[in-house]
Amino acid sequence: MQTQPSHNVDKQMFNAAGVLLQFLASPEEVGDAICLIRGTMPPGVVVPLHKHAEIELLYVLEGSLEFFMAKEGTQWATAGMGDVIAIPSNVKHALRNRSSLPVTLALVTKSHLYAFFRELAKPFDPNQCPAPLTPEEMQELFEVAAKYGYWMASPDENAAIGLSISDLGSCHEQKHSQSTALGYNP
């Protein structure tokens, strides 16, 4: 278990289907089955409809995020800075950033979801904008999700709640430096 403060600025950035991740405290570092992850969703990025057994606690640090949870009905809701989104086990949910600014979140979840993210995530240069997922990367997302026992919605199921899978992993052009917009200035 880690007893010294961690310098999170030094943590490597990863891209997991368009969501930029920094693994701040792993289950090994915590000494338990939980972890802490910093996630940034650039403008235009969506997390498609899915479900898994692990709970997720999302704390919005910056920006405004839209989220969908099947238990709440068919409506999207918005969470802003300081809001907490508690996603229960096995509830279908999706996220999207339709604003012109990045959304930064703190995510607390269990070790199984941490392992999924670690397997899916690729090292990422924070000075770049995530490109749309290739068909091969989309296939990898579905294969890794299946390996971990996660349910992923079909394109039609995503369309029914207003999501286009073609938006997955891409971000809108920014008029200013992407690294500055995402808050990363190494």
Q: What is the DSSP string of 128-175?
A: SPPPPPPHHHHHHHHHHHHHTT-EE--HHHHHHTT--GGGTT-----S
The reply to whether 186 falls in a domain is no
pLDDT at 150: 97
- The count of domains in the chain is 1
Phi first, then psi: give them for residue 41, nearest 5 degrees.
Answer: -105, 110
Of 90, 88, 99, nearest in space to 40 by CA: 99
* Residue 19 and residue 40 in contact, taking contact as beta carbons nearer than 8 Å: yes
The reply to whether 149 falls in a domain is yes
Nearest-5° angle of CA 146, CA 123, CA 52? 25
The reply to whether 37 falls in a domain is yes
Nearest-5° angle of CA 102, CA 105, CA 109? 145
CA dist., res. 16 & res. 41, Å (int): 10
Walking along the chain (186 residues) 10 residues at a time, the average pLDDT comes out as 54 92 95 95 93 97 96 83 97 95 97 96 87 87 96 94 72 39 36
The reply to whether 95 falls in a domain is yes
CA dist., res. 56 & res. 152, Å (int): 16
Amino acid at 154: S
CA dist., res. 113 & res. 19, Å (int): 15
* Mean pLDDT, the chain, whole residue set: 85
pLDDT at 178: 37
The reply to whether 112 falls in a domain is yes
**Range of 65's domain?**
8-172
Of 101, 137, 97, 118, nearest in space to 28 by CA: 118
pLDDT at 34: 95
Structure tokens at 28: 């090994």
What residues are paired with 46 via a beta bridge?
96
pLDDT at 1: 46
pTM equals 0.83
CATH number of the structural domain spanning residue 94:
2.60.120.10
